[in-house]
Chains A and B, each alone.
Chain A
Amino acid sequence: MRPLVRLWRRSLRTRVVATTVLLSTAVILIVGFALLRDVAGGLADNRREVAIAEARAGFEQAQSQLDAAVDTERAPQSQALTQLVDSLAATKGEVRSYDLVLHGPLGAAGQAPVRSSGDLDLADVDPDLVKQVGSEQGVFWTFSSLSTVGSPDRTPVVTVGSRVTDPGSHEQYALYYVFSMADQQETLDLVRNALLSGGAVLLIMVGMVAWLVSRQVVDPLRLLRRIAERFAAGNLEQRMHVKGDDDIARLSSSFNQMAESLQSQIRRLENLSMLQQRFVSDVSHELRTPLTTVQMASQVLLEARGDFDPQTARSAELLNAELGRFEALLSDLLDLSRFDAGAATLELDPVDLAEVAKAAAADESLVRAQISATALGVAEPAVVDADIRRVDRMVRNLLANAIRYSQSQTLEISVAQAADRVSLSVRDHGVGMTAEQVRRVFDRFWRGDPARSHGGTGLGLAISREDAALHGGRLEVWSKPGLGTEFILTLPRNVGEQVSGAVMPAEFE
């Protein structure tokens, strides 16, 4: 059932063909029934009229025979009545199309005798007709059916009844003519079969026509769909072939116009991105060379500061420190501009986040003496495909951030893993952040507390979030004022798969 439903929902052609065939079936059935009813009615009316006419003639003949019998005998002998039936039933060399039932005398006590041709009985005559003939004068008729010996089907018949009177005894007899309608039934069956097979052939042809017609619409639509899919997959050269001037052709040319405009937009953006990328690379090279020289000179001065007077020595120190900051800022800005230009690339290697967490917790250049960092959940290797340089930078940024702003004495770095992703959490027990601060924490150049801004560039978390996104991962933050902050970095095992959320539950949800 499900594949059928699927086919119905997915295939326009199936739907068109099925709907057409269903509706045609209904129309053919209605028309067929009406036709059949008219034909059947016509046939029956015709037969009835002929039957009544024939029966009237028969009644007159029966009455005249009875009248004639009066002249010869006083009362109609039972034999004479039988002879009457036989003579009425006798035809002139033709196939008899009726049988006779003579019932009477009417009104006698007990069951009146029945004489008939063709083994018929009074029971074969419709009881309503019997009653009508019994109570009124006149010719009456009815349609009914007879069961035939050796066949389950009943033959439709029209029965015409009337009374005949024996003028001698004045006794009344009911005489019934039972006309078979087998011929009419046969004709009707023929018509019905012709209608059925004709209808079936018609349906098949309508289905085929619907299929052919729907092809004219659906084939170009399918082609359009395939081309749109290829276009979406990045093959921007794909175009529809426009033929003619119909709706499909106009749809195709509209699609082509859309594709054209998209392609030119994309080209322009690509050009822009390339220009920006080149600019970044040029700036990088042009700025780095003098910066390197200045930094080297500053370090030479710094090493020789023992020979300087205190002011000059301090100047050398400040020069060196601020050059370091300048370098960090330049490097961060260039990284961000690479992200913005879409030019950031990954160098993938298997990276063990447990190892990274352990190394970070033990890194003395990061974790200063009065702050202790513990690594949790690092017994098992937690390997992901990632760019080690970026992972290292993210973890360092998170730690540096926690140390710089949280005023926390203890940090916990923990690692948890699932089948498809690995999370690394950096948790501090410091001052925490308000909801407003949490909202802005990844903004560029935003600092939670300007008083403690020293040392950072204000870009670390923004870059880390971009780094995480570049892997298909996430960097999320939870915080409560006074309780601390938790950053959770989640990376997919296979780079590019989007992660759904952190593996471990955050503490402040």
Chain B
Amino acid sequence: MTVRRSKHDRVLVVDDDAALAEMLAIVLEGEDLRTRICNTGDEVMAAFEQFRPDVILLDRMLPGIDGMEVCRQIRAVSGVPIIMLTAKGDTTDIVDGLEVGADDYITKPFRNNELVARVRARLRRTDPLAGRIEFGEIVLDPQAHTVTRDGKPVSLTPLEFDLLACLISAPEQVFSREVLLQKVWGYHHPGDTKLVNVHMTRLRQKIEDDAESPRVIRTVRGVGYQAIAPAAD
């Protein structure tokens, strides 16, 4: 695993609470990251175009366009990693956020090192594969970071790309949600299965004919997920 760490990694902090936003910026800058702050949802798209962040920290509750809508707008144009800031225990908020495209979430209140670890995990570009993988009708090219299905390109976020790559690089192997969290998200959320479940649903919607009865990635009940080896033909 090669890790690219750059002093020029940029984090866009979107939070309506000016004090928290500033504090977030102070902590991240202390980690040699560049930051830009948006206090309302309306400024985000402009700041995104101009600042080109590598990670976005996005509060769920925003004046103007709310966090969910911002997330949807960014996902329409980019796969940039998005980390939602939520209040602990608001499970539906978390799932809603993940469903509109957030890669990860962090619950308030959090420790500085937890915040930094999550941002770093999203900045870290893993490179687990040397060559391209052909998996049935799906072709995954790690160099170009593209996926095609039946020759047509499939648009995956980097996280979905990593998730798919992890599963199909070891066909038939069952990955528990814990292992997937470790390998794909890059750190350990104890027992946080929502993250895996929601992203697996999104991934299936993009690569399966019928996400309800998946033929590429199977759920092994009570254990985890496995890629089903395509029939040799």
Contact = CB atoms under 8 A, between A and B. Distances in A.
A285 B112 CA distance: 19
Contacts of B109: 288, 291-292, 295, 327
The range of chain B's interface size is: 20 to 34
Taking each of B26, B109, B190, which has the highest tally of chain A beta carbons within 10 Å of its own beta carbon? B109
Contact of A389 (B17, B90, B191): B191
A293 interface: yes
B45 interface: no
A40 to B, nearest CB: 85
A347 B90 CA distance: 12
Contacts of A327: 109
Interface stretch (A11-19, A51-59, A129-137, A296-304): A296-304
B58 to A, nearest CB: 14
A392 B192 CA distance: 12
A291 B108 contact: yes
B144 interface: no
Interface in B73-126: 87-91, 108-112, 115
Taking each of A297, A335, A345, which has the highest tally of chain B beta carbons within 10 Å of its own beta carbon? A297
Interface string A336-370: 00100000010101100000000000000000000
B222 interface: yes
Contacts of A285: 61, 87
B27 A288 contact: no
Interface in A251-309: 281, 284-285, 288-293, 295-297, 299-300
A299 B112 CA distance: 7
Contact of A296 (B23, B61, B190, B193): B23
Nearest to B60: A285
B71 interface: no
A400 interface: no
Given A291-B109, A292-B110, A295-B109, A300 B26 contact: yes
Contacts of B61: 285
Nearest to A383: B222
Contacts of B193: 347, 349, 388
A295 B111 contact: yes
Contacts of B108: 288-289, 291-292
Given A290-B19, A299-B111, A347 B91 contact: yes
Given A289-B17, A389-B191, A300 B88 contact: no
B179 interface: no
Nearest to B59: A289
B24 interface: yes
Contact of A281 (B90, B111, B194): B90
Chain A interface mostly:
helix
A338 B23 CA distance: 30
B27 A392 contact: no
A296 B27 contact: yes
Contacts of A345: 91
B89 A338 contact: yes
A467 to B, nearest CB: 13
Contacts of B24: 296
B20 A292 contact: yes
B151 interface: no
B30 interface: yes
Contacts of B20: 289-290, 292-293, 296
Nearest to A295: B109
A300 B112 contact: yes
A342 to B, nearest CB: 15
A264 B95 CA distance: 34
A288 B20 CA distance: 10
B11 to A, nearest CB: 15
Given A300-B30, A327-B109, A349-B191, A293 B19 contact: yes
A331 interface: yes
B88 A331 contact: yes
B181 to A, nearest CB: 13
A334 interface: yes
A288 B88 contact: yes
Contacts of A347: 91, 193-194
A388 B191 contact: yes
A296 B15 CA distance: 15
B61 to A, nearest CB: 7
A334 B89 contact: yes
Taking each of A289, A292, A338, A350, which has the highest tally of chain B beta carbons within 10 Å of its own beta carbon? A292
Nearest to B113: A299
Nearest to B107: A288
A331 B87 CA distance: 11
Given A289-B20, A389-B191, A296 B112 contact: yes
Nearest to A390: B191
Nearest to B112: A299
B144 to A, nearest CB: 37
Interface in B56-71: 61
A365 to B, nearest CB: 12
Nearest to A331: B88
Interface string B1-25: 0000000000000000101100110
A345 B89 CA distance: 10
Contacts of A392: 190-191
Nearest to A387: B191
Contacts of B191: 349, 388-389, 392
B140 to A, nearest CB: 29
A373 B24 CA distance: 39
A291 B107 CA distance: 12
A389 B108 CA distance: 16
11 contacts: A291-B109, A292-B108, A293-B19, A293-B20, A299-B111, A299-B112, A331-B88, A335-B89, A347-B194, A350-B222, A389-B191
Given A338-B89, A349-B193, 4 more contacts: A285-B61, A292-B109, A296-B27, A392-B190
Interface of A: 281, 284-285, 288-293, 295-297, 299-300, 327, 331, 334-335, 338, 345, 347, 349-350, 383, 388-389, 392
Query: Which 4 pairs between the two chains have the least Cβ-Cβ distance?
Result: A388-B191, A292-B109, A288-B108, A292-B108
